[in-house]
Structure 1
Amino acid sequence: MTEDDAVDDVCDDELLTIGAFAARARLSAKALRLYDRLGLLVPAHVDEGTGYRYYRAEQTERARLVALLRQLDMPLARVAEVVRADGSEAAGLLDAYWAGVEARVAGQRTLADYLRARLSGRSSEMYGKFVVETVDVPEQVVISETRHTLAGELPAWIGASLTRLGEAAGDCGGVTAPPFVVYHAEVSAESDGPAESCVPVADAAAARSWVEGQGRSWQSQVRVEPARRLAYTRITKAQVAHPQILAAFEAVEEWIAAQGLTVAGPCREVYFADWEASGPEDPVCDVAFPVS
């Protein structure tokens, strides 16, 4: 008789054979062996002579919890964290995992829309989904970092550089307007820009002092950003990812041409919302071009 035989076998001490436990937990014996190896669901007893695994009936709830978490496509390592946690901590771990899933799906949805329009040759229809407006932005003193970077490295660099500049702004009179990233040349999988992260600050003299000190190590500078009129469209967190963000840039360019305006400077992304606190469908960024 094998370990999987006799589904209804129950040991004298009320231990269930792997077959009986698998039927009760609605899992396969193969899955139970895997969960045992990973420490997710360890048998209550293993016969030293035969190697047969035996389980207690009260282990059924944990087995079913593991199975349900796996139905969410949760990686086994994350499943282990959840089942080992207690109460609200376990619920918090599940919430964090699911928020990540929703963010990924939202990003994939916007990417699918972008690719569908590209592949069907109907890109112009996609541009119509973006509302383009203009805004006049006054002259600003900014502290900035400039870097040559490819598209794949760009999100991490933007987050890190804007964090550094935001912290430095406290020594420069404080932040006076939303931070932005200027693209002085194309950033893609093949082209590395450069890109420039900028944070507007209140005190030009203090900003120059900061750059002369610690700011220099990050290729930082202080400069005056001239007053500009921007043509822009507002996008969600899910739409910020490359390459689907290109649709927003192209929509603004098409609108500028249709209005008889001229692009008067490098394009930019203006980040006006708390990135970490925002959900995938929340507006977080303006994609903009200076116009004249």
Structure 2
Amino acid sequence: MVLDLSNNKLEGQIPESYSNLTRLERFDIGSNKITGPFPVSVTKMINIQELVLKNNYFAGHLPPELLQLKQLTELSIANNEFDGLLPQGLFSSLKKLRVINISQNGFTGEISSDVGGLMGLIKFAARANEFTGNIPKEFGNCKLLSSINLGDNHLTGEIPESIYTLRNLKILDLPANKLTGKISPEIGNMAGLTKLILSHNSFNGSLPVEIQNLTRLESMMVNYNSFNGVFPVARAPPLMTLCLVQPNAFQGCPPNVSVENSTTLAYQCNLDCSDRVLHPDIYEAISCSSPINDGTILGRILFTTIAAIVFGIIFS
């Protein structure tokens, strides 16, 4: 049985009488104006498989009674006002979970290593919370994972080597954390990757040339880090449409033939290395990661020169 009340401008709290709906397999009350704590009545829906409470105004902690929903495959509670620690044993108790979306709340603490026991997990989204600690290496056990979204938290440490073994992963989204370390050349083995978003962290070292092996990659955002060395002379993934690489600390520029060749990573990333060296004052005022229509160095020089004249940012 399915009860879908989503997108109805409903207000108030979920009645206790809903606890009698024990035959429900899907309950969706997303995108309303529901308030109050996590509804205890929901924890009595013992056959529930898909629970969708996203885009409401629920608040407070998740109750330990949530662990009673042993048939749960989807927990979607994003964009509410939940806070505090996740219930202890959440991942080890609800072993059938395939979709976890707890983004845009106020959850704290570390992401439990128990997540590695969810062998059917496809999506894990915990963006825009207050999580701390490292990314659990146990994610590497979840071989069906297609999406990891942990952006805008306070995560530290390096990307676990086990992440690079996830051949089915399409989205690796980790921006706006405090992550460090180098990107392993093993990233070239993630054949299904379509989006790689690592911006606004403290990654360092060189960008691995193996990125050229990601033939399905459409978006790569590695700007606002501390990557250094010479930008890799490599082929661009054929499907790439968005690539942001600056600011970083790249030293030296690729050969002109790489920058002028539309099949190279340097061209697709609108690499502005030469212009940055020539006009460092301009780049203090204009974001050098802004995409432009002409991906060549000449096009970027023209863009920054015009912008400098218009906005009066050239100083003597």
- Structure having the higher Rg: 1
TM-score interval (norm. to shorter):
under 0.3
**Which one scores higher on RCO, CA 8 angstroms, separation ≥ 6?**
1
Q: Which protein has the bigger helix share?
A: 1
Per the normalisation by structure 2, the TM-score is: 0.22
Per the normalisation by structure 1, the TM-score is: 0.23
